[in-house]
Amino acid sequence: MRLVAFCEAAADFQIASDLVDRVLRDHGERWISDLLETAPVGVRSWRGDGGGRPFFVVSALAAYADKLAVRVPHGHFEGQPGAADAMMGRTALAIARKLAKQAEGVDAVLLLRDLDDQPERKAGLGQARAEACSWASFAIVVGGANPKREAWVLCGFEPQDPDEQGRLDELRQELGFHPHLEAHQLSAKDEQAKRSAKRVLRILTDGEGDREQRCWTVTSLDTLRARGVATGLCEFLDEVAQHLLPLVARSQAP
């Protein structure tokens, strides 16, 4: 399965790609899990942007389109004005369409975005996907992190020792709610603000990248789904299962 991801940064790609593998491993057939452990490219591969990244950066879409000689149409979406990020989604999918015509091909595209208190971004990406359904030869997965990626990480935080439990309890007192259960409320844009998801995550994980990663690689998918309804994480996991699992299931075990 040849995948293309459009996202904002490497950290967004890391969590999304790890979660894709987890869904395929946990919900797919046994051979899928075995291959993901030993030879993951036998199940899925990521088409990079040609500049050393395994994903395409959404802030550079215009440059990618120029490089690939992609003409992006303008105008309304099925007769309606485009919401925020609708043109971004249209551009990304036009680039993916060009990539799909190349020898390596494309089986599925992931559009990932921090909503940052702009729910209309998710609507705009939905408009772009709906428009592309008339011609796309690939599946399209949309992921909107509400308010941002760190909220998805917090959904998987489980205190591992008394120090972590103590930090969680202190934040619960400070915020008035459990940050790992209601991460969608951490919407402050100022990273030093009390309700900054980045600040809260930094405190809980003591700024350690490995500890942060365990939040989405170790915590059960059921827990991530249950806690991640309001953050968009549950919906993303369901979209991966809906759109990507059937692509792998059609393949035959080696």
If residue 111 lies in a helix (H) or strand (E), which one and from where to where? strand 108-114
Do 199 and 248 have their domain in common? Answer: no
Q: What residues contact residue 187 under an 8 Å CB cut-off, 6+ apart?
A: 117, 147, 195, 197
Show the tokens assigned to 199. 């600040």
Do 29 and 131 have their domain in common? Answer: yes
Q: What is the reported pLDDT for 138?
A: 97
What count of Cα atoms within 13 Å lies in the side-chain half-sphere of residue 219?
25
pLDDT in tens, 185-221: 999 999 999 999 999 999 999 999 999 999 999 999 9
Average pLDDT of the segment spanning 37-50:
94
Do 36 and 84 have their domain in common? Answer: yes
- 3 state SS of 33: helix
Do 118 and 168 have their domain in common? Answer: no
Average pLDDT of the segment spanning 164-182:
98
- C-alpha separations of 8 from 32, 68, 128 in Å: 28, 20, 18
Query: pLDDT grade, residue 253 (50/70/90)?
Result: very low
Do 131 and 88 have their domain in common? Answer: yes
Do 51 and 103 have their domain in common? Answer: yes
Query: pLDDT grade, residue 234 (50/70/90)?
Result: very high
Do 198 and 246 have their domain in common? Answer: no
Query: pLDDT grade, residue 251 (50/70/90)?
Result: low
Show the tokens assigned to 203. 């405190």
CATH number at residue 106: 3.40.50
Q: What is the reported pLDDT for 107?
A: 97
Query: pLDDT grade, residue 252 (50/70/90)?
Result: low
Query: pLDDT grade, residue 249 (50/70/90)?
Result: confident
Percent above pLDDT 90 for the chain: 94
* pLDDT above 70: residue 38: yes
Do 202 and 253 have their domain in common? Answer: no
- What CA–CA distance (Å, rounded) separates 36 from 247? 15
Do 110 and 130 have their domain in common? Answer: yes
Rounded to the nearest 5°, which phi and psi values hold at 34?
-65, -45
User: By C-alpha distance, which of 164, 163, 121 is closest to 142?
Assistant: 121
User: By C-alpha distance, which of 145, 230, 216 is closest to 182?
Assistant: 230
Q: What residues contact residue 44 under an 8 Å CB cut-off, 6+ apart?
A: 1, 2, 3, 20, 21, 24, 248
pLDDT mean across residues, the chain: 95
Asked if 132 and 26 touch (Cβ cutoff 8 Å), the reply is no
Do 116 and 221 have their domain in common? Answer: no
Query: pLDDT grade, residue 145 (50/70/90)?
Result: very high
* pTM: predicted TM-score of the whole model, two decimal places: 0.95
The most distant pair of C-alpha atoms in the chain lies apart, rounded to whole Å, by 57
Asked if 37 and 80 touch (Cβ cutoff 8 Å), the reply is no
Our count of domains for the chain comes to 2
pLDDT in tens, 77-108: 989 999 999 999 999 999 999 999 998 999 99
- 3 state SS of 32: helix
Q: Which residue has the higher pLDDT, 211 or 253?
A: 211
Domain that holds residue 172: 149-227
Q: What is the reported pLDDT for 111?
A: 98
